[in-house]
Structure 1
Amino acid sequence: MKPVFIALFLACTGAQAAMGPFDVYEQALRNDPAFLGAIKERDAGLENRTIGRAGLLPRLSYNYNKGRNNSQANLPDGRGGHYHDDRNYNSFGSTFTLQQPLFDYEAYANYRKGVAQALFADESFRDKSQALLVRVLTYYTQALFAQDQIDIARAKKKAYEQQFQQNQHLFQQGEGTRTDILEAESRYELATAEEIQALDEQDASLRELGALLGVQSVDIADLAPLNQDFAALTLAPANYDSWHELALTNNPTLASQRQAVEVARYEVERNRAGHLPRITAYASSRQQESDSGNTYNQRYDTNTIGIEVSVPLYAGGGVSASTRQASRSMEQAEYELEGKTRETLIELRRQFSACLSGVSKLRAYQKALASAEALVVSTKQSILGGERVNLDALNAEQQLYSTRRDLAQARYDYLMAWTKLHYYAGNLRDTDLAKVDEAFGPGPR
């Protein structure tokens, strides 16, 4: 899908239906350069299995040569002298050779290394596929949360502007102070700075989404907002130990790192094979005519079958040094696997805890939102009764916006924690993103 077509598609569909995270993901599968590059990287890596296996299979070769020879033979004449015989003749040779390794430990180690490299490529691609899901949801929620911050900043500006005008009016009547005016003005400018920062963050997130889709940017109106009635997702399994086992078994980063250790292990074996003999069975069929001066005007048809044994004796210490070097690389890979395992389990625990605490935070913020909404209503009623002033209503409305922002952030954080928990466990699939997608839908901005 070309970028121009995508832009037209977004323009045509934006008025009808906004895109949810799953829609963005489906388009990113076709247009994200990082993911498309990962496909080619995997395909290239899978060829290592075939390359390694080739060293264990028969090798058939054919050699042909034909030449024109100008030669002068110095031959005895039988009387104690010699005479010269000029020979101008054609020569040719034709050889078919078939070789089959019988014992070649280096070839075997190369094959096992190729298998490990192919598995590494496959697991690495699985990791990047799941990472694409995380990237889509990350940029998507960042863009929406930035919009929430823009809304609250504009609400603050409106409140502080009215407060500034009221304080200025009171100051002119001799009832206010210059400090009150400066404080309102300072808060207004701070809210303006917050709005600018939120606009910049939103622009960056929308451009990141655009890069996934192959367009320059995405408009915030093209994205479906978070549903106001969003509830927590089901967490299954419910205990951490099960997630721990899932991560150790299924996490693609750990799986690829284990294959990297296997690659390093068979590289050690490949170098160690430099001390071992090689045994090869071979068969050849050869035709020669006038192949040399000694076979002038002679033709030979030779069929040969046999076994060749090659025994390395001394290579200047290079084999031993290469083996030690490969061993150190293998130990490095093992330490990297251990470090990556610890890092993954720490993140897994963090996201699991965030899911559990996130449910409690959502309940608390939802109650706080209900209280803030009730506060706005009661404040307006108090104003009518003369107990409050308009500034109290503005402060109550500002608190309502702030609570909505905090609730939205808690929801985004919970969705990201739920998604990353599945990612670190290694079982994040498009069906999981479809569940998250249900939390978004058409609604007011």
Structure 2
Amino acid sequence: MSLSELMRVGIGQSPEVAVAQSRLDQAEADIDEARSLRRPQVTSFGRTGVGDTGLTSSQIENQVGVRVSQRVYDFGDARLAINAAEFNSESLAYSLASQEAQTAFTIAFAYLAGLEAEEMIGVISQRRDYFARQEAAVTELLARGGATRAERAQVSAQRAEAEADVLELQSQQQQAESRLRAYTGLLVNTCAVGPVTGELEGGLAGLSSVDLLWDAVFSRNPEIAAAQRAVRSLDAQRERERRERLPVIDVVGISSYTYDDQREDWEARDRVGIDVSVPLYTGNAIGARRDRAQARLQQSENELRQLQRDLGERAEVSYRRVLALEAQLSRRQDVAQNQREYFEAIEGEFEFGLGTLPDLVEARLAYESAALDVVRLQFELARERLELLLLADRLPL
């Protein structure tokens, strides 16, 4: 299974993504609730009471009916409520996209860890097999008096050390497989290195400078977009709180039936009018809500600036790290090639009796060390590219 397919499977099964989707669904419901401020409100009612209807009589009056009201003017209160809800919904939609990207990043990181362990096992297995053959040959020579016990012990130690290294790497590979199985529910078999690294490298096409990368991060990163919409939502809420002392005007119609005990009959009564509500005194509750909204807005704005700074720094550091790793990788590949040629030369001399076993062991270990350095750099470069794809919202989902 390819890396992009695996990420999509993990996103579909992620509980974190499901939680983010639930938050978005709640925000969509908040939009419907805010829009209801512009729609007619219909309520039924029933009343009964005891009291004076005049100066000389006391009677029980029962009433049932329907009340219909329609807000006609509120100095922008409904509009601001809708704007706040819509911006909050957009913020949570971007938060959902961010959570999907984070889940994909975690899966890809574990995938690369398993693939790196597999590649390193392949390199070290060659050392293990090589020294196993040398151990058999030296044991045979020892039986004929052509080798020493020290030489056999040296070769055996290298073979055992290689086996131990393979076991450690297999443990790391199993840890990566466990994480992938936990996130995807699948027993994952990694694919070849080439397609994975090529997929990651291709995703960075067009990001040829730090400035272009910053533009991509600030314009595409879902975390930043979510924070920006959150600021707009809080700004609308702040403005709504500032207007809370302004009147709200409703057209109200009431249709009811009233039962009069004196008449012992039901009587239809209808009323149409205008209600104007203006808060006069609330014990400073309005001022407190306004101050709270202002403080929340300032907090959100500062969090946005902090997020932009941190993500911009991460992007620039990763970008420069990618450039450095690309240069190092080219040189490490040259070193590995030269070490291979050196080892082959020493091996040839040893076969003709011109070299010593310690020289052969040293050359073999130096060649393997150079090959492992190449593998480490390849995957470190892949991880940095993965980081850039996350920050620039270019993961291959």
Normalising by structure 1, report the TM-score. 0.73
- Between 226-235 and 246-255, the greater mean CA deviation after superposition: 226-235
Q: Which residue of 2 aligns with 1:249?
A: 219
Would you say 1:61 and 2:31 are equivalent positions?
A: no
Q: Which residue of 1 aligns with 2:116?
A: 145
Query: How far 1:22 moved relative to its partner?
Result: 2.3
Query: What is the letter of the counterpart of residue 308 of structure 1?
Result: D
Q: Distance in 2 between matches of 1:245 and 1:140?
A: 29
Amino acid at match of 1:269: E
Which residue of 58, 74, 82 maps to 1:111?
Answer: 82
Q: Deviations over 1:281-337 (max 9, x none)?
A: 222222x141x435x334332332221111111111122122222222221111111
CA distance in 1, matches of 2:167, 2:245: 68
Does structure 1 residue 134 correspond to structure 2 residue 102?
Answer: no
**Residue of structure 2 in register with 1:259 after alignment:** 229
Secondary structure at the aligned position of 1:238 is classed as: coil
Please say if 1:333 is aligned against 2:300.
Answer: yes
Q: Would the alpha carbon gap of residues 129 and 91 (structure 1) be closer, same or farther in structure 2, given more than 3 Å must change?
A: same
Change (3 A) 1:326 1:166: farther
Contact map agreement 2:250 2:274 (CA 8 A) in 1: yes
Structure 2 residue corresponding to 1:208, chosen from 179, 204, 208: 179
Matches within 5 A, 1:78-227: 93-103=64-74, 105-151=76-122, 194-215=165-186, 218=187, 222-227=189-194
Contact 2:325 2:381 survives alignment (8 Å)? yes
AA in 1 matched with 2:354: E
Residue of structure 2 in register with 1:236 after alignment: 206
| Aligned with 2:380 (options 413, 435, 445) | 413
The question of 1:293 aligning with 2:261 is answered yes
Report the alpha carbon displacement of residue 94 of structure 1 after superposing the two structures with TM.
2.5
Name the structure 2 match of 1:13: none
Match of 2:243 among 252, 255, 273: 273
Q: How many residues align?
A: 381
Paired position in structure 1 for 2:32: 50
- When residues 51 and 158 of structure 1 are mapped into structure 2, their CA distance, relative to the original with a 3 A threshold, is same
Do the aligned partners of 1:91 and 1:289 also contact (CA within 8 Å) in 2? yes
Match of 2:312 among 329, 332, 345: 345
For 2:291 and 2:156, how far apart are their aligned partners in 1?
71
Q: Secondary structure at the match of 2:253?
A: strand
Structure 1 residues 41 and 314: alpha-carbon distance in aligned structure 2, compared to 1, 3 A threshold: closer
Structure-2 separation of matches of 1:373 and 1:417: 28
Q: Alpha carbons of 1:261 and 1:183: their partners in 2 closer, same or farther (altered >3 Å)?
A: farther
> Could you tell me how far apart the structure 2 residues matched to 1:21 and 1:242 are?
26
Question: In percent, how many aligned pairs have the same letter?
Answer: 16
Amino acid in the other structure paired with 1:63: F
Gapped regions of structure 2 (runs ≥ 5): 50-55
Letter in 2 for 1:299: W
Residue 53 of structure 2 aligns with which residue? none
Aligned mates of 2:299, 2:154 — CA distance in 1: 59
> How many angstroms apart in 2 are the aligned matches of 1:35 and 1:344?
22
Greater CA drift, 107-116 or 344-353 = 107-116
Q: Using the TM superposition, name which of 353-362 and 182-191 deviates more.
A: 182-191
Paired residue secondary structure (1:274): coil
Offset from partner CA, 1:211-244 (integer Å, 9 cap, x none): 12125xx35xx21131399776463131221221
Contact 1:283 1:303 (8 Å CA) reproduced:
yes
Deviation at 1:182?
Answer: 10
TM-score, normalization by structure 2:
0.81
